[in-house]
Amino acid sequence: MGSHSKLPEELLTLLKEGERLRSQYYRGRFAPSPSGPLHLGNLRTALVSWLRARLRGGEWLLRIDDLDTPRNRSGALESIQKDLSWLGLNWDGPIILQSKRRKLYESVLLALKQQGKLYPCRCSRRLLGNRNGLNDGDGSNIYPGTCRELGLPWDATDGRLPSLRLRVGKKFSNTSGDVLVRRADGFIAYHLASVSDELFLGINEVVRGEDLAKALTSQLAVIDALKQKPIAFLHTPLFLGTDGIKLSKRQGGEAAMSTHAEFMNAENLIGFLAATLDLVPQGSELSALELLSELRNNQGSIDTVLTA
Ligand code: GLU
Please list every protein residue whose CB sits less than 6 Å from any atom of ligand 1: 31-33, 65, 194, 208, 212
Range of the domain at 260: 1-308
CA of 46 to the centre of ligand 1 (A): 11
pLDDT digits over 279-298, tens only? 999 999 999 999 999 999 98
Cβ distance 42 to 33 under 8 Å? no
Opening angle at CA 195, ends 253 and 231, nearest 5: 110
- pLDDT of the chain, 308 residues: tens digit per residue: 445 578 899 999 999 999 999 999 999 999 999 999 998 999 999 999 999 999 999 999 999 999 999 999 999 999 999 999 999 999 999 999 999 999 999 999 999 999 999 999 999 877 776 655 566 555 567 899 999 999 999 999 999 999 999 999 899 998 999 999 999 999 999 999 999 999 999 999 999 999 999 999 999 999 999 999 999 999 999 887 655 556 555 444 444 445 566 677 899 999 999 999 999 999 999 999 999 999 999 877 898 999 98
Specify the ligand 1 atom closest to the Cα of 30.
Answer: 8
Give the model's pLDDT for residue 239: 84
Which secondary structure element, helix H or strand E, spans residue 214, and what is its range?
none
The 3-state DSSP class for residue 81 equals helix
- CATH number for the domain spanning 93: value is 3.40.50.620
**Nearest Cα residue to 115 out of 22, 230, 224:** 224
* Distances, alpha carbon 35 to alpha carbons 43, 74, 248, 251, in Å: 14, 8, 10, 10
pLDDT digits over 188-243, tens only? 999 999 999 999 999 999 999 999 999 999 999 999 999 999 999 999 998 876 55
**Nearest Cα residue to 290 out of 274, 306, 308:** 274
Q: How many domains does the chain have?
A: 1
CA of 63 to the centre of ligand 1 (A): 9
